[in-house]
Amino acid sequence: MELLRFQQACLAFGTNPILDHVDFSLFSGERVCLVGRNGAGKSSFLKLLTGQQNLDDGQIVVNTGVVLSRLEQDPPAKMDTKIADFIREGAGDLAEKLQQFYTLSENLDGAGDAEYRLFEQLQNEMDTRDGWSLEARVSDICQQFEMNPDASLATLSGGWLRKAALARALVAKPDILLLDEPTNHLDLAAIQWLEQFLLNFNGAIIFISHDRAFIRALATRIIDLDRGELTSHPGNYQEYLDRKQKMLEDEQKHNALFDKRLAEEEVWIRQGIKARRTRNEGRVRALKALRQERAARLEQQGKVDFNIEQASRSGKLVFEGKAISLAFNNKPVMDKLDLLVMRGDRIALVGPNGVGKSSLIKVLLDDYKVDSGEVKRGTNLEVAYFDQHRIALDLEATVQDNVADGKQEVQHNGQSRHVLSYLQDFLFPPARARTPVKALSGGEKNRLLLAKLFARPSNLLILDEPTNDLDVETLELLEDILQQYQGTVLLVSHDREFVNNTVTSSLLFAGNGRIIEIAGGYDDVTAYQARQAAKAAPVKTTAVQPAPTTEIAAAPLVHSSVNNAKKLSYKEKRELELLPQQIEQLDAELSALQLQVNDPEFFKRDAADSQQTLNLLQQTESKLALAYARWEQLEASGS
């Protein structure tokens, strides 16, 4: 069933078209991802649906009775509110009118005609909008989300605040849920919880996200907003990427042919009097039309083009920690951690929010003193620090002053460049470069911070959530730049695909001060946890065990029940006999692959070759985890 549609919708800011006679329909059960470059107008698209923005022309038709609700991106303005009251606000004026109905009902004796008419009106509205169940819905949602309704919002972490905001959006029982960058600032456990929740949501969803793994898991259709045009791509995200690439290639070929024809006609008209003969007036008119078409053609927005200015090489040793221990309020953050970071390592710090990832970085940089142990720092370190809160940016200063400190030139890769030319590599045209930073979008601020960092020499990059608000194309370019970077990288990010494509190893914060180093990225961390879960799975149990408490999702534990035990078939017995040999073989293959990856020369090889090895490592780890799990399951069933 169609829920809403855009009909010849037009919206522009100045000369910049956001929607140019766009048609679009949304149907029940769809999960539509809206993609496009930063500044293409994705947030404006959602504002049109919520009434915060009006069309210049055309119309938006929402079917009668369809309820829209939006997950707010910003944290609540008032943090001293109870969770239940905050959620109840999501129903709009329904709670207020319900209270008004109850107040009137207690004072109907002696009431006048106006009060009776208002009473009946409120009663009809409660029937229509299902207002009678509001308090039950608030209670049910609090129970479902495992939140204390009487607790204050001020007690919640960032991830729990996002859950509360989602609960607030859901209390109105929306038919359409609107989400703008829902995974920003969430840790992996919260992202995976959100994925699962939205997969089970009965209504339609329109969401904006640059988290490619999140898009792959959720989207049933991609709509691409590009230079005022909205293109629909049914199917999965990879199919969209393939079609989009083909469309851009076709557009470039068409434009090249057009430009060639225009150039030929310009040469012809300059031949003079022959071009002005009566018999050629049609050709002259055609040339004028070509010029007008060329002037009206909107060029594809330029691509970000940047590279990191690298300082002289640091020492081979970057950081060495011996038996480092640190605790806050008797809660261990690091417990006798031994750590070795060598030049060229690219390491992801993986774990839930608040577990101590930033604390480890501050310890390594000597901003925090350890309780015990020793930290040794290498020589000649030039640090570039990307802070997710963008403290390094002066919001009142202009874009160019933030990068060049008031000067007209920046030194980059040993050459002097005008700051406006340098900023164009980061998609800041001259007019935008003179804009105060406070007027920029989130994605633009992150691009500016990258421009500021990369203008200075470095051999140690520390990136704390660099991917928030960046469009996919910029993310992919940043991945390529980091892979070519000769220095050392420490990365904190919950973007699974970005981490998988960037790092050589991960530090898993497993809780209680335990930090485990694992070769590879998020997928390798998940495979490690699956193996650990399989090894720890009990042989026999009489009840299903609770899910693991770690906030990084592990593979489900394999349980068996005495009551459900059954005799193995011949095929299963044969499988059980062969599994130890298969596990041993996979373990040997995994060890050999890990030796290759740990070789300092590994990432100097051809990128395609090294990526093939990394993919094989990941596949082998997954196969080994599955083999362990199957072995435990068959052992339990046969005992």
> Is 373 assigned a ligand-binding role in the annotation?
no
Q: Say which residues have a Cβ less than 8 Å from residue 147's Cβ, sequence separation at least 6.
A: 83, 160, 163, 164, 167
3-state secondary structure of 163: helix
> Is 38 assigned a ligand-binding role in the annotation?
yes
Q: How far is CA 215 from CA 38, 167, 290, 396, in A?
A: 17, 21, 40, 35
Q: In the chain, how long is the greatest CA-to-CA distance?
A: 100
> Is 357 assigned a ligand-binding role in the annotation?
yes
Bridge partners of 205?
Answer: 31, 177
Query: CA 304, CA 475: separation in Å to the nearest integer?
Result: 10
Q: Say which residues have a Cβ less than 8 Å from residue 200's Cβ, sequence separation at least 6.
A: none
> Is 355 assigned a ligand-binding role in the annotation?
yes
- Give the type of residue at 500: N
Q: What are phi and psi of 372, to 5 degrees?
A: -160, 165
Query: Vertex 145, ends 140 and 149: CA angle to 5°?
Result: 65
> Is 352 assigned a ligand-binding role in the annotation?
yes
Which residue, 498, 488, 502, is CA-closest to 310? Answer: 488
Query: CA 55, CA 12: separation in Å to the nearest integer?
Result: 9
> Is 543 assigned a ligand-binding role in the annotation?
no
> Is 356 assigned a ligand-binding role in the annotation?
yes
Dihedral of CA 431/437/438/443: which sign? positive
> Is 41 assigned a ligand-binding role in the annotation?
yes
> Is 358 assigned a ligand-binding role in the annotation?
yes
Query: CA 466, CA 389: separation in Å to the nearest integer?
Result: 10
- Give the type of residue at 259: D
> Is 520 assigned a ligand-binding role in the annotation?
no
> Is 567 assigned a ligand-binding role in the annotation?
no
Dihedral of CA 164/169/173/174: which sign? negative
> Is 40 assigned a ligand-binding role in the annotation?
yes
Assigned token pair, 237: 């995200």
Other Cβ atoms less than 10 A from the Cβ of 454: the count is: 24
Length of the chain, in residues:
639
Question: Which residue numbers belong to the known binding site?
Answer: 36-43, 351-358
* Bind-site residues for ATP: 36-43, 351-358
